[in-house]
Amino acid sequence: MKAVGIVAEYNPFHNGHAYQLAKAKQITGADTTVVVMSGNFVQRGLPAVFDKWQRAELALIGGADVVYELPFAFAVQPAHLFARGAVNVLVAAGVTCIAFGAEHAQLDFLALAKIARQKLGENDAFKNDYTQTYATVFNDVLADATGQRLSQPNDLLGFAYAMALLDLGYADKVNLVPIQRQGADYHQTGITDTRIASATALRELMLQEQTVNEFVDYVSKPAAQLLAGGEQSKNWSEAWYPFLQYKVLTTPICQLEQIYQLTDGLAYRLKEQMTRYTRVDYQTFMTMFKSKRYTWSRLQRTMLYTLLNISHDEMMQALQRPYLRVLGATKQGRFFIKKKRDQIQLPVINHVTHEMINDILQLDYRAGKLYELMAKQPLQQAMDTGRIPVFYE
């Protein structure tokens, strides 16, 4: 059996994603599509519009055969760590190629990554520096060595997958397959295509409380019904921010400094600024808190780490312990999993035990519990305990 891997957030799943899944199978000749998808929080540190189980089911309806969860430790990270975790999961699952959308699919991403890696050297500090901006560092290297500069988000992620393949030693056995991005741009907020709208545009449309009919041209019918109901989670700025304020204002600086990425004086600055500007809203506070040194996404992720009380040591440990957690599978997907079962070397999780909650799933359980508490309506099931994978025929 031949499987093609896809890295995704599906926030939310739309026709462009369905096109990518179908095209990936067509180009590679694969009979199985394996997706590794972010859980309840996306790379920018914000809650996903729907929980991981709902998004996994929509992906299966849209053409995925297996959906694995990308562990929280990798999902809410800059591009190089996000890509490293995703590639590790897909290769462990048994894929022989990884397809991804790209604004410039004609580029040889692996060749560019080899040049960049050679330029940086085997012992470059960036590999162990979790604070630098990924795009800035590698774009400077690429521009200097090749004259090529990557500025589009999907191109940058494609480059990150290539770097991950090299770093993990998989470049010789896994092919990268760029697929030309169709329709709307990644960050496009308006809808101009009659069939494909960006996830950003669909999230904007959700805020306008539109009916099902407004979504059916761009997503499946089950997805349209969900989107018409609005986001599952409460608004971060309004509902989540007061709890973050409480956490920061009542925690000594020496303890805040133990939080992952609250380093180099950032904990002191966070405490000082939040004490001074207690009554401003989240957007205003972040605008004042932001500096040239850190991107908005980096600081947004740090706010989530702080709210979840994730220490540096906890994160470092989690990054060394990837696993395969099955969120859902079709009949074809279950057949593929069964075939590959004896070859998988990472831990495989189908249901969560209390031992896992206190061990390998500690961060994911914590993040899932926070998502549950911040849901607009009480959830019928917990995010992790008592759940089994979604099976779709």
Tokens 């440990």: give the residue. 317
Dihedral class, residue 10 (left if φ above 0, else alpha if ψ from -120 to 50, else beta): left
Q: Is 139 annotated as a binding residue?
A: no
Q: Is 10 annotated as a binding residue?
A: yes
Q: Are 8 and 43 in contact (CB under 8 A)?
A: no
Q: Is 18 annotated as a binding residue?
A: yes
Q: Is 301 annotated as a binding residue?
A: no
**φ and ψ at 258, to 5 degrees?**
-85, -15
**What is the DSSP code (8-state) at residue 187?**
T
Q: Is 309 annotated as a binding residue?
A: no
Q: Are 207 and 215 in contact (CB under 8 A)?
A: no
Q: Is 62 annotated as a binding residue?
A: no
Q: Is 365 annotated as a binding residue?
A: no
Burial of 48 by CB count in 10 Å (0-12 exposed, 13-18 middle, 19+ buried)? buried
* One-letter identity of residue 302: T
Q: Is 13 annotated as a binding residue?
A: yes
Q: Is 104 annotated as a binding residue?
A: no
Q: Is 7 annotated as a binding residue?
A: yes
Q: Is 20 annotated as a binding residue?
A: yes
Q: Is 17 annotated as a binding residue?
A: yes
Cα 200 from Cα 107, distance rounded (Å): 25
Q: Is 11 annotated as a binding residue?
A: yes
**What is the DSSP code (8-state) at residue 280?**
S
Q: Is 93 annotated as a binding residue?
A: no
Cα 324 from Cα 206, distance rounded (Å): 32
Closest CA to 157 of 229, 96, 85: 85
Q: Is 175 annotated as a binding residue?
A: no
Alpha helices, DSSP H, located in 96-237:
109-120, 134-146, 153-168, 199-207, 221-228
Cα 161 from Cα 164, distance rounded (Å): 5
Beta bridge partners of 69: 37, 325
Cα 260 from Cα 302, distance rounded (Å): 7
Binding residue ranges: 7-20, 101, 154, 181
Binding residue ranges for ATP: 7-20, 101, 154, 181
